[in-house]
Chain A
Amino acid sequence: MSTTSLPIADDEQLAIVRRRSLPRVFGMLVMLVLAAMLVHTLITNGRFEWGVVAQYLTVDAVVAGALLTLELTAIAMVLGVMLGIVLAVMRVSRSRLLASTSWGFVWFFRGTPLLIQLIFWFNLSALYPALSLGIPFGPGFISGSSNAFITPFAAAVLGLSLNEAAYMAEIVRGGLLGVDRGQTEAAQALGMRRLHILHRIVLPQAMRIIVPPMANQTLSMLKNTSLVSVLGAADLLHSAQIIYSRTYQTVPLLIVAALWYLAMTSVLSVGQYYVERYYRRGDRSVTPS
């Protein structure tokens, strides 16, 4: 041994001194300086116009925009998750046709930019001036002008949920594959039928795998709704844009929008914690007495 140490008597109680890591101390110093600079510029740079931020943070147009953003997120996620589950089940089904239809859907909607999809749906009337509901290749029962049906809101819901379904399909499929095959067999042996097994046995277990990426998707969705501002839907970002195009206070209003997004995603992250905890029930790690 190259290090030497003083002898220790058997009855001595010695305090332990932790080693300092020089690189870590240096890193901490750098971070502290950077943080101080950030706080300093936020306070001293008057062009942030915090007064304007505070003034617009809760005006009606901004709150209404935030509500529309939440509404779009909720609708698109609900539809996207439902369609995603259907697509995932199709993908793992024994029917080649169903599996490849699902694959094709995912391929297309994951492979093209969401922005293009949104603008496309908004301009659907250029492709199909009239829409009708009826028997395929047969008579229609209800028909109407595409322009009347495809409002900015409808185009936004259509674009966001179809795109979301493509991503959710893959997430749900991963979850379904993650559930042991023996679970399905045990359920079958008890006389349960396919939908019952999916709903009561497989999906609840798949949810443990599905929830974390699904929460990610929800946060992405909340922010991606800002793309619908190009359709003229009065979401949070578009509401901020309308105001700053009038007042030229671009930066403060972008900060207003960003603060709202941040607040909403924070609340959702808290929700994620509780949802994950719910689906972990029965785990060895959480043992309710």
Chain B
Amino acid sequence: MTTLTDRPLVRARNLRKSFGSVEVLRGIDLEVETGQVCCIIGPSGSGKSTLLRCINHLEKLDSGQIHVDGELIGYRRVGNKLHELSERDVARQRAGIGMVFQQFNLFPHMTVLANVMEAPHRVRKEPLEQARSRALRMLGRVGLLDKATAYPAQLSGGQQQRVAIARALAMQPRLMLFDEPTSALDPELVGEVLETMRALAGDGMTMIVVTHEIGFAKEVGDLLVFVDEGVIVERGVPDEVLANPTSERTRAFLSKVL
């Protein structure tokens, strides 16, 4: 094991994944340092969402490994084999990684407060009062303290996504994964979600963001990764990648989205 200080928070090596006969990830390597914001862009079907979902083991890899904070995700090495972890251990790993979905996926039968409290209280076994006060703090952080008793269906899409961010933050994750967090939103609601994410990045949260918001990637991202057909075609500082793409595919993609 390397020391705590010099290893990247996320370290993915040679990730491969197929759905049936379609190979979605074809050997991806990725490293994200603590406190970095890594934005992943690419055409739809390029494998960028699958890559993200492998990091918290929502998808199982066919080969390759992912380490988060030095811990191998989903498996345990015994001799020369990787043994699948128990459901309990996978759940424990996931609990330390926050995820925000395109479709928000708030629990519709629970109030906003209950959505945010559920996992801290019932997964982390925090006492009710402690879970509640943290949940309220998180709702304050995303600017929705006044919606604590509302149900998700009573909120706008942008508000729902901010609650989803608060719900993930309440687990005090070391890493936040965003899977196209603004793609399902009406255009006028995109800004408030990006603003929340920008503030989160400013607080030093390590974030991996699959997005189509090139402007956000340019302004907030430390690292920009362009994925196409299951491989990383280009990576680097966002300003440089966007200004001088080295590959023809990146250039073609950027000319369509910019």
What residues make up the interface of A, taking CB atoms closer than 8 Å to B? 180, 182-183, 185-194, 196, 200-201, 204-205, 279, 281-284, 287
Contacts and interface: CB of A to CB of B under 8 A. Distances in A.
30 contacts: A180-B105, A182-B101, A186-B99, A186-B105, A188-B58, A188-B91, A188-B94, A189-B56, A189-B94, A189-B99, A189-B101, A190-B95, A190-B119, A190-B168, A191-B91, A192-B119, A193-B87, A200-B118, A200-B122, A201-B107, A204-B109, A205-B107, A205-B109, A281-B109, A282-B109, A282-B111, A283-B108, A283-B151, A287-B151, A287-B154
A287 B107 CA distance: 16
A182 B103 contact: yes
B185 interface: no
B92 interface: yes
A114 B150 CA distance: 47
Contacts of B123: 190-192, 196
A281 B105 contact: no
Interface string B186-208: 00000000000000000000000
Interface in B85-135: 87-88, 91-92, 94-99, 101, 103, 105-111, 118-119, 122-124
Contact of A183 (B56, B96, B107, B171): B107
B152 interface: yes
A205 B107 CA distance: 9
B217 to A, nearest CB: 23
A190 B110 contact: no
Given A186-B101, A282-B152, A192 B107 contact: no
Given A190-B119, A282-B110, A185 B94 contact: no
Contact of A284 (B99, B154, B167): B154
Contact of B107 (A186, A279, A283): A186
A200 B122 CA distance: 10
A282 B151 contact: yes
B82 interface: no
B153 interface: yes
Contacts of A182: 101, 103, 105
A187 B167 CA distance: 11
A139 B253 CA distance: 72
Contacts of B152: 282
A190 to B, nearest CB: 4
Contact of B58 (A189, A200, A282): A189
Interface of A is mostly: helix
A95 to B, nearest CB: 14
Contacts of B97: 189
B153 to A, nearest CB: 4
Contacts of A180: 103, 105
Contacts of B110: 282
Nearest to A186: B105
A195 to B, nearest CB: 10
Most B C-beta atoms less than 10 A away, residue of A183, A190, A281: A190
Contacts of A187: 107
Most A C-beta atoms less than 10 A away, residue of B87, B91, B118, B154: B91
Given A196-B123, A284-B154, A191 B171 contact: yes
A274 to B, nearest CB: 16
Contacts of A191: 91-92, 94-96, 119, 123-124, 171
A162 to B, nearest CB: 31
Most B C-beta atoms less than 10 A away, residue of A180, A186, A187, A283: A186
Which 4 residue pairs across A and B have the least CB separation, nearest first? A191-B95, A186-B105, A190-B119, A189-B99
Given A186-B107, A282-B152, 10 more contacts: A186-B99, A189-B58, A189-B168, A190-B95, A190-B118, A191-B92, A205-B107, A281-B151, A282-B151, A282-B153
A240 to B, nearest CB: 43
A186 B171 CA distance: 13
Contacts of B105: 180, 182-183, 185-186
Nearest to A191: B95
B230 to A, nearest CB: 22
A183 B167 CA distance: 13
A205 B108 contact: yes
A94 to B, nearest CB: 12
Contacts of B111: 282
Interface in B147-180: 151-154, 164, 167-168, 171
A67 B33 CA distance: 69
Nearest to B53: A185
A182 B101 CA distance: 8
